[in-house]
Homo-oligomer: A and B are copies of this chain.
Amino acid sequence: MKTPINFTEKFSKFSEHWSPKIIAQMNDYHFKLVKFQGEFVWHDHKDTDEVFIVLDGEMTIHFRNDDVSVKKGEMIVIPKGEKHKTSAKNECCAMLVETAGTVNTGNAGGDKTVPADAWI
């Protein structure tokens, strides 16, 4: 804490997709950086809203009845319990904000599930 966290420097530390890395904690919330391309799995987070802030590129959030495009310089709040799936045609770099311990795939499981405690 009390040290500035530089997004470009942090993004240079990993290259894998769909694997959020924690860069900061505020109270019981984590700020995580993630890179992704292609399509994620349908899931929800029963206990927390989730924020995506797009830092580079563009992503789509697929909801059951709607697709929402979010690009660099934009953010979106995904309501708690709302089924969604993320996708990106080209690599997208984003920051997630959610409660500490939130698993990337919610309860959906599968091979895209990663540990929720990876710091960089």
Question: What residues of chain A have their CB less than 8 Å away from a CB belonging to chain B?
Answer: 1-8, 23-27, 29, 31, 48-51, 53, 61, 63, 66, 68-71, 73-80, 82, 97-99
CA distance A44 to B54 in the complex (A): 30
Chain B min CB distance to A98 (Å) = 8
**Given A29-B29, A49-B27, A51-B26: A3 touches B68 (CB 8 Å cut-off):** yes
Q: Once the chains bind, are A73 and B8 in contact (CB under 8 Å)?
A: yes
- Known: A2-B79, A29-B29; 19 extra A-B contacts, CB below 8 A, are A1-B77, A1-B78, A2-B63, A2-B66, A2-B68, A2-B76, A2-B77, A2-B78, A3-B76, A4-B70, A4-B71, A4-B75, A4-B76, A8-B73, A24-B75, A25-B49, A26-B49, A26-B51, A26-B77
